[in-house]
A and B are shown apart, each in its own frame.
Chain A
Amino acid sequence: MMRLTRVELRRLFSRRLTSIAILGALVLTGLLLFSSYQTAKPLSGAEMTSQRASFDESRRQWDANGPQQVTDCLTQQAEVRKTDPKANLGCTTMEPKWASWGKPVVKYAELMPTVLSGGSLLLAFVGFLIGAGFVAAEFSSGSMANWLTFEPRRPRVYASKLGAAGLGLLPIALAVLGLLTAGTWLIVGHFASTAGTTAKVWGNLAQMGGRAVALAVAAALAGAAMGVLFRHTAAVLGIAVGYLVLIEGVFRQALQGAQPWLLSLNFQAWLQHGAKYYPLVCKTDGQGNYSCQGVEKLLTFGHSSAYLGILVVLIVGLAALVFRRRDVS
């Protein structure tokens, strides 16, 4: 079993599609780091001049009309407080302050979870692509039959292929996440601030990274299993893209009640240890006016773990059954 997995790993990393996928992952990692740089870098001289001009103009208007604006605001606030005693229209903070202009200093502890989240989805896609192509190519090229004449124990063959897809993703995922973590640290450290990156923050980031690796491995397993089921990489990718376009894209609005079952939201909840979502609740009032309003809901980490876990187990299990019994020609 170990020998077979080792052979499959060698084959995995000898494939051109794997090389292309790794290269693509590195390019996208570079783009994510560039995005971090864009977020963290301070404003340029020209941007500062423009911001200063904007502040000066606001200040001039404040000097001319500020007291009146505050008076009007307080009047309006008093009116509102008749029905809502806690209403605060921000009348005391209306004066323009330079601190509100320009760009806030980016903190590593705040930026990194967003970067990790983007990197995780990228890894999941790469894992799925590598897994699907790795196994489906054997069926479409016909070499699976040849392989089985050397090792006819199908459960072993299946396990070794999925094992290789999953194990093969580990170094790729660790490399991409390592690059993102270190690269963002260097960028933010140079242009912004890494202050506040406490041990607790590192702990949370490590947990999130671990979940990102697990998601990538699960995606590779699911991709490989779908490769067994559909036997063509294009078919597997077609199904994945079809799901993304139709379910996550076109019909998402119509599937308000089904949002807890959408993959994207479950990915988010898995990575961020829970995710808020806002399904629209629509109603018609007494006057016959129809209106919709987003209602905040929480998709728990437990829900996403169970849902994604069961989904992967089902796909992998179904493919195992099919592979065990299917005639190979």
Chain B
Amino acid sequence: MTTATAEFAISTRGLRKTYRNRKGRHIAVQGLDLDVPLGGVHGFLGPNGSGKTTTIRMLLGLVRADSGTMTVLGHEVPKQLPEVVGRVGAIVEAPKFFPAFSGRKNLQLLAEAIGRPRGIVDQVLEQAGLGDRGKDKYRGYSLGMKQRLAIAATLLKEPDLLIFDEPTNGLDPAGIREIRNTMRSLGEQGKTVLVSSHILDEVEQVADTVSIIGHGRLLASGPVADVIGDQTAVSMRVGVADLVAAQRILTDGGLVVRQEGGLLVVMGTSDGAEITQRLATHELFVNELTPVRADLESVFLELTADEGLETVGAAR
């Protein structure tokens, strides 16, 4: 299964994981086929409970898959994980370190465990913007600082692949922007960044490519513009003085239009230029033109509309 040169940073085939508990069993991931291209930022998008974290845990060897195959940077995992783990930095859900130790001490232990020189600790702390807080105890860190420390920890390895699981959860706007910039910057350096998120906007802002997962299965995958763009800008809200005339003109042009409050909603298009041009030729001038973007739930409904997916238990 090992390949000398990997085509994908991450690839899974038929990946499946079922959890069992007292309430019975629920399928977290069912037959997931995922390909994450090498280089750039790849969004791993799905609502809570869609199987993102379970997939990441399986890739990192924290959770055992029931069946299926996985490769990370061309190495079959979990079997060959020790050979590739030095090139993979990961933050799974909230960062977890020893609370009674300082940030620096936590990183020193990790650096020593993987045979990295101690000097690198100050270097990555500085890179993560924690240079002056490294000596403070981890339990005193804010959520943003914890997240930065976790990023610093991933950099101890000089990784080719970084996996961030819901990295902006609980952060304030400044923290969110900082983390997003970091991810973009890492992607631009040629590293592969897999960022899982349930926030559509986040993935749109940072990712080059995206995979959408729902009910433990891949629903769509490809460049962000192709996958999300098609699904999210599904209608335009139009403000115009003569609503009746405008609706007739647009309907005659083959568009589906309905009135909503004092505006028109033109369904199934995101082409604002076409709408303004058609109305302008009839001397009707647009005073408002807003793309109506679907939220993630709508995207999922759209993507799963024809699948008739069976309901599976929520799992993370």
Q: Would you call B97 an interface residue if the criterion is a C-beta within 8 Å of the partner chain's C-beta atoms? A: yes
The one of A7, A137, A152, A329 in contact with B112, judged by C-beta atoms closer than 8 angstroms, is A7
CB-defined contacts of B115 to chain A, threshold 8 Å: 3
Q: Which of B57-65, B190-198, B295-303 contacts A (4 or more CB under 8 A)?
A: B57-65
Contact B109 A7 (CB under 8 A): yes
Whether A328 contacts B90 in the complex (CB less than 8 A), given A7-B112, A141-B99, A142-B96, comes out as no
B108-125 CB contact bits vs A (8 Å, 1 = yes)?
A: 011011110000000000
Contact B90 A149 (CB under 8 A): yes
Contact A145 B62 (CB under 8 A): yes
CB-defined contacts of B97 to chain A, threshold 8 Å: 141, 143, 146
Q: Would you call B85 an interface residue if the criterion is a C-beta within 8 Å of the partner chain's C-beta atoms? A: yes
Q: Would you call B92 an interface residue if the criterion is a C-beta within 8 Å of the partner chain's C-beta atoms? A: yes
CB proximity of A164 to chain B, nearest CB, Å:
12
Instruction: Identify the closest chain B residue to A153 (Cβ).
Output: B82
Q: Would you call B95 an interface residue if the criterion is a C-beta within 8 Å of the partner chain's C-beta atoms? A: yes
Q: Would you call A103 an interface residue if the criterion is a C-beta within 8 Å of the partner chain's C-beta atoms? A: no
Instruction: Identify the closest chain A residue to B62 (Cβ).
Output: A328
Contact A329 B105 (CB under 8 A): no
Contact B98 A11 (CB under 8 A): yes
CB-defined contacts of B95 to chain A, threshold 8 Å: 146
CB proximity of A64 to chain B, nearest CB, Å:
73
Contact A329 B114 (CB under 8 A): no
The one of B57, B98, B113, B153 in contact with A329, judged by C-beta atoms closer than 8 angstroms, is B57
Complex CA–CA separation, A150 to B109 (angstroms): 11
CB-defined contacts of A325 to chain B, threshold 8 Å: 64
Q: Would you call A151 an interface residue if the criterion is a C-beta within 8 Å of the partner chain's C-beta atoms? A: yes
CB-defined contacts of A4 to chain B, threshold 8 Å: 113
Q: Would you call A10 an interface residue if the criterion is a C-beta within 8 Å of the partner chain's C-beta atoms? A: yes
Q: A-B pairs with the 7 shortest C-beta distances?
A: A142-B96, A327-B63, A152-B61, A328-B62, A152-B81, A143-B96, A7-B113
The one of B98, B150, B153 in contact with A141, judged by C-beta atoms closer than 8 angstroms, is B98
Question: Which A residues fall within an 8 A CB radius of B?
Answer: 3-4, 6-7, 10-11, 14-16, 137-138, 141-143, 145-153, 325, 327-329
Whether A16 contacts B100 in the complex (CB less than 8 A), given A152-B60, A327-B57, comes out as yes
Instruction: Identify the closest chain B residue to A143 (Cβ).
Output: B96
Q: Would you call B167 an interface residue if the criterion is a C-beta within 8 Å of the partner chain's C-beta atoms? A: no
CB proximity of B190 to chain A, nearest CB, Å:
22
CB proximity of A256 to chain B, nearest CB, Å:
39
What are 11 A-B interface contacts by the 8 Å CB criterion?
A: A10-B112, A11-B98, A142-B94, A143-B97, A147-B110, A150-B114, A151-B82, A151-B114, A152-B61, A152-B85, A327-B57
The one of B101, B105, B113 in contact with A150, judged by C-beta atoms closer than 8 angstroms, is B113
Complex CA–CA separation, A53 to B150 (angstroms): 77
Contact A148 B62 (CB under 8 A): yes
CB proximity of A130 to chain B, nearest CB, Å:
15
Complex CA–CA separation, A4 to B57 (angstroms): 22
Complex CA–CA separation, A148 to B63 (angstroms): 11
Whether A150 contacts B112 in the complex (CB less than 8 A), given A16-B100, A327-B63, A328-B62, comes out as no
Instruction: Identify the closest chain B residue to A11 (Cβ).
Output: B109
Q: Would you call B74 an interface residue if the criterion is a C-beta within 8 Å of the partner chain's C-beta atoms? A: no
Contact B153 A146 (CB under 8 A): yes
Complex CA–CA separation, A325 to B113 (angstroms): 22
Whether A149 contacts B113 in the complex (CB less than 8 A), given A141-B96, A141-B98, A142-B96, comes out as no
CB proximity of B99 to chain A, nearest CB, Å:
6
Complex CA–CA separation, A146 to B165 (angstroms): 13
Q: Would you call B144 an interface residue if the criterion is a C-beta within 8 Å of the partner chain's C-beta atoms? A: no
Instruction: Identify the closest chain A residue to B105 (Cβ).
Output: A14
Complex CA–CA separation, A269 to B109 (angstroms): 41
Q: Would you call B78 an interface residue if the criterion is a C-beta within 8 Å of the partner chain's C-beta atoms? A: yes
CB-defined contacts of B88 to chain A, threshold 8 Å: 149
Whether A148 contacts B98 in the complex (CB less than 8 A), given A3-B113, A4-B113, A10-B112, comes out as no
Complex CA–CA separation, A267 to B99 (angstroms): 36
Instruction: Identify the closest chain B residue to A16 (Cβ).
Output: B100
Instruction: Identify the closest chain A residue to B19 (Cβ).
Output: A327
CB-defined contacts of A141 to chain B, threshold 8 Å: 96-99
B45-72 CB contact bits vs A (8 Å, 1 = yes)?
A: 0000000000001001111100000000
